[in-house]
Amino acid sequence: MASQYPKNVVTKKGLALISECLATNKQLVFTRVLVGDGDLPSNQDVSAMLNIISPKMELPITKALNEGNGQFLVRATISNSKLDIGFFPKEVALFAKAEGGTEVLYAYTNGGDKVGFVPDKSIPIESEIYNVRTIIGAVTNVKAIIKDETFVTVLDLREAFTDDTSSVDDDEIESNSLLANLGARVSYVKKYVKKAISDAFKSDDFDDNVIRAIGKKTFEGLGVQARFSNANSWFICFGPLFFGLIIQGGATGRPSGNAATANFAIAFNNTDYIIIPVGVIDASDSKLSLTVNVIKEYKTANSCTIRTSDTIAPACYYIAFGRAN
C-alpha cells in the first residue's frame, strides 16, 4: 500500500521561528526529516508538539526548493538498506532552526493506518520519495541541509535540467556542467546498472531465481510463519503487514463428558477469534450425526472448549480465524 499523509501542520515553535527570521533577517534552515511509528492521540494538539512521538529513521534530504507564495519544498528519501527492523512510517516530522540558533520541530503529519510497511534490509525495496511541503510565510532567505553523503535520485537528476521530468537524454545528464561533481560516478553507476539488469533478464533461470528469492526472504522478512507438519494442529500467521491475521485448524481429542478441547498451535491476541467446529464420526458408529457447539465462556487465547451431543463420540474438526499476539 502506498503511504498517504494529511497536510502537515506547522507547530507553534515553527511559527515563532518564521517570526524570528523575519524580525532578525536570519536565514531559515531546514535541518532534517524524521519518520517514526508513533500513534497520534485523538486529543493531541499537533501545533503544540515539541518532538516526534516514536522516531525510527532520519531521511536524507536530496532537494530544497522555494516554490513561491510562501511555500517551500523539502524532498527526502527513505531507504531500508540499513534498516534492522521493519516499521510503519506513520509520522513525518520536519525540523528547522534560525541561522546559529536551536533546532525545533517545525512541521508534523501522521498518516495513521494509511501508510505502507517498510520491511527490514533483508527485503530490498525501491527508495520512496517524500515531498514535504510546508509554509515559510514571507521568509525569503531559506535553505535545507543536504549532507555530503546524500545520494541523488533519478527525479533530482532529471529536474536539474528541465521542468519536463518525462524524458532526459542520458548523455546530457553526464555532460551537463551542473553535475560535473558527479562525473565518472554517475556514468559508472548508470552503465553498471544497465548491464546488471540486462544480464539478469537474459539468464535462463531468472524466473527460478526470483521465485527462490521471494520464498527465502520476503515471507520471512514480513513475519509470515506457518506449520503444517501436524495435521491435527496446523497454522499460518501472515505477519504484521497483514495485521497479524492467523488461520489455523486441526482436530480435538475424543470428547469427555460431552466436551472436547481444541488446543491451538499458536495463540490468538484475544478471544474475539471465530472458530468453526464440525463433528466427525466413524463409519462404524451407531449414531449417524454429532452436534457440536462452541462454549463461549470457555474460549481462551490458547484453546477453545466445544460442547458435543455425545458423551464419548469421535473427535471434532475445526478451523479458526483471528489475530496474533
Listing DSSP states for 166-183 in one string gives T---HHHHHH-GGGTTTH
Give the least confident one: 5-14, 66-75, 143-152, 216-225: 216-225
Q: What is the mean pLDDT of residues 137-164?
A: 67
Integer Cα distance of 28 and 142 in angstroms: 5
Look at residue 70 in the predicted model and tell me its pLDDT: 94
Percentage of the chain beyond pLDDT 70 is: 74
Look at residue 132 in the predicted model and tell me its pLDDT: 95
Within 13 Å, how many C-alpha atoms sit on residue 230's CB side? 15
Task: Give 171-209 pLDDT, tens digit per residue.
Answer: 554 444 444 444 545 555 666 667 666 666 666 666 666
Question: If pLDDT is split at 50, 70 and 90, which confidence band does 159 have?
Answer: low
Strands 259-263 and 303-308: antiparallel
Judged against a pLDDT cut of 90, whether residue 147 lies above it is answered with no
Read off the pTM: 0.51
Judged against a pLDDT cut of 70, whether residue 249 lies above it is answered with yes
Task: Give 291-323 pLDDT, tens digit per residue.
Answer: 888 888 888 998 998 888 877 766 789 999 998
Mean pLDDT of the chain: 82
Task: Give 31-88 pLDDT, tens digit per residue.
Answer: 999 999 999 999 999 999 999 999 999 999 988 999 999 999 999 989 898 899 999 9
Integer Cα distance of 206 and 286 in angstroms: 58
Q: What is the mean pLDDT of residues 212-225?
A: 64
In the chain, the domains with their CATH numbers are: 9-151 (no CATH), 153-187 (no CATH), 225-323 (2.60.40.3940)
Integer Cα distance of 112 and 103 in angstroms: 26
